[in-house]
Amino acid sequence: MKSYLKKANTDFLRGPPSEIIMSLRQKVKRLMRIHEVSPRKRMGQNFMIDQDVLQLMLSHAAITPSDMVLEIGAGFGFLTHLLAQKSKTVVAVEADTRLMQVLHRELGHLGNVDLIGGDILEVPLPTFNKVVSNPPFSISAPLLFWLLDKAFDCAVLTLQKEFARRLDAGIGSKDYSRLTVSTYYRARIELLDEVPKEAFYPQPDVDATIVRLKPRGAPPFYVKDEKIFNAVLRALFTQRNKKFRNALQSLSHKNEFKYKALSKKTENLCLHQKRVRNFAPEDFGAVANALS
């Protein structure tokens, strides 16, 4: 993974970093003052104020005039405006009704921007083929699970650095999780550039990472029933440090099978002495298939 600061100095920099950051920071403050709004911490509102990060995201997404782009958490519309210049249409979703009013005033003249108010996990959406977004860190997990169920070409997102590591964690590592396996099964993941917390206003407590996801044409291993596969992931990762033989107790509580039946169904997998955290993604698929 590359440092954003190094990349910005060569590819996208059009002036000293402090001047670029101050320019958008001042615009955020001006808009907040004019429209009498302030960031809401409970909504995870930290607005991107670095023009170079926005340009970097567009470059990673390879936006073309035929693209229909989804933006999640449009904020004050800085990224929205750039996307509108390069794409066919932009579907900009914003949950904050106050910011929706700002967006209508600032971007209402753009004919290829579709502004939608509401929760991204609940609102109906038109067709899109790419996602480019600085979503609130607070919705990262449900957003990723939601996104992995959609059809699209690629998604470029800025995510909390620690969260991004979970998407591409090694088997057995502390960051290896249900999210890691689910992401691996559905998409190819790239951790591209580090983004310092100073690139946001107000400044969050953590740095971020630009992440690119590309859905797989076909899963890397066979799963008979994805509902059972997801249930197995949820249950077993609550017991990640236990040997599989002991972790089966958790599965027996959440499945119609008794413990002995579960043990018998999985005995041919030769996994009973293996700790859950050391399971390869394919092992979870094998367990799910044995229970299907």
**Pair 55, 76 in one domain:** yes
113 lies in a domain?
yes
Which pLDDT score is estimated for 7? 45
**Pair 248, 204 in one domain:** no
220 lies in a domain?
no
Q: Over its length of 292 residues, how does the chain's per-residue pLDDT go in tens digits? A: 655 544 443 343 344 444 445 589 999 999 999 989 888 887 888 999 999 999 999 999 999 999 999 999 999 999 999 999 999 999 999 999 999 999 999 999 999 999 999 999 999 999 999 999 999 999 999 999 999 999 999 999 999 999 999 999 999 999 999 999 999 999 999 999 999 999 999 999 999 999 999 999 899 999 999 999 999 999 899 999 999 988 887 666 655 456 667 778 888 898 989 999 999 999 999 999 998 8
**Pair 132, 274 in one domain:** no
221 lies in a domain?
no
Which pLDDT score is estimated for 255? 56
Q: Is 30 exposed, middle or buried (0-12, 13-18, 19+ CB in 10 A)?
A: exposed
Which pLDDT score is estimated for 12? 36
**Pair 200, 152 in one domain:** yes
CATH of the domain at 275: 1.10.8.100
DSSP helix, strand, coil percent of the chain (3-state; round to 5)? 50, 20, 35
118 lies in a domain?
yes
Which pLDDT score is estimated for 1? 61
The count of other CB atoms within 10 Å of the CB of residue 87 is 23
Which pLDDT score is estimated for 78? 96
Which pLDDT score is estimated for 183? 97
Which pLDDT score is estimated for 67? 98
Among 192, 215, 238, the domain boundary falls at: 215
Which pLDDT score is estimated for 28? 92
**Pair 15, 79 in one domain:** yes
Which pLDDT score is estimated for 10? 33
**Pair 84, 153 in one domain:** yes
Which pLDDT score is estimated for 43? 80
**Pair 50, 127 in one domain:** yes
Kindly tell me the sign of the dihedral angle through the C-alpha atoms of 126, 138, 147, 232: negative
What is the pTM assigned to this prediction?
A: 0.88
**Pair 234, 191 in one domain:** no
Q: What is the span of the domain harbouring residue 272?
A: 226-291
Structural domain count of the chain: 2
CATH of the domain at 129: 3.40.50.150
